[in-house]
Structure 1
Amino acid sequence: MPQVTSSISEELNQLLNELAEETGIPKSSLIAEYIRRGVYQDVHSQAQVRQFQKNKPR
């Protein structure tokens, strides 16, 4: 499986640590899920924009 490296703020790191501890879900799994959600949401939003532009009266 491909891997990526990124830097995050201390605040975000702390929030992820707390969430991982509370849920028992590894931090890397949480991060992967949040990335997946964000990418799919952005792809969906872009598709809606393209559809709107395609159907916009001229």
Structure 2
Amino acid sequence: MLDIEVQTADAWTRYGAHHATRGTNVPEVDRLAWGYWLAGPDEELLGDLTGLRVLDL
């Protein structure tokens, strides 16, 4: 694995741990938006997401 990949994975792990410790409330969403103004495809592109969590980067 490249060093930047290790650094990125570490950063996301620390970020997640910070919010888990802090108890950040993550609201449930009813629609996945891929960009601004709800333009473009939505979660139907990914198939059935029931019971799954999706991270939009």
Query: Shorter-chain TM-score category?
Result: 0.3 to 0.5
TM-score computed with the length of structure 2 as normaliser: 0.40
**Which one has a larger percent helix, Structure 1 or Structure 2?**
1
Larger Rg: 1
